[in-house]
Amino acid sequence: MDTAFFTDWIDEIARLVTAERDHLTELDAAIGDADHGANLDRGFTAARATLSARPPGTPGDALVLLGGALIRKVGGASGPLYGTLFRQAGKALGDAPRVTPADLAGALEAGLRAVRELGHAEDGDKTMVDALAPAVRALREAVGNGEGERAAFEAASRAAQEGASATIPLRARKGRASYLGERSVGHIDPGAVSSSLIMQALRVTADNP
Ligand code: ADP
Ligand code: MG
Can you give the pLDDT of all 209 residues of the chain as single tens digits? 999 999 999 999 999 999 999 999 999 999 999 999 999 999 999 999 999 999 999 999 999 999 999 999 998 899 999 999 999 999 999 999 999 999 999 999 999 999 999 999 999 999 999 999 999 999 999 999 999 999 999 999 999 999 999 999 999 999 999 999 999 999 999 999 999 999 999 999 999 87
Report the run of H or E that residue 186 belongs to, with start and end. none
Mutate to test the pocket of ligand 1, among 42, 165, 174, 189 (most ligand atoms within 8 A of CB): 174
**Alpha carbon distance 197, 26 (integer Å):** 16
Q: Which helix (H) or strand (E) holds 185?
A: none
**Closest C-alpha to ligand 1, atom 22:** 119
Using the atom order of ligand 1, give the atom closest to the CA of residue 195.
16
Number of the ligand closest to the Cα of 42: 1
Cβ 36 under 6 angstroms from ligand 1: yes
Tell me, yes or no, if the pTM score tops 0.95.
yes
Q: Which listed CATH number (3.40.640.10, 1.25.40.340, 3.30.1490.70, 3.30.2000.10) goes with 3-207?
A: 1.25.40.340
118/111 Cα distance (integer angstroms): 11
Write the residue with the smallest CA distance to atom 19 of ligand 1: 175
Identity of the residue numbered 178: S
From 25, 70, 122, 128, mutation site for ligand 1 pocket: most ligand atoms within 8 A of C-beta: 128
* Residue 163 beta carbon below 6 angstroms from any ligand 1 atom: no
d(C-alpha 61, C-alpha 43), whole Å: 17
Residue ranges per domain, the chain? 3-207
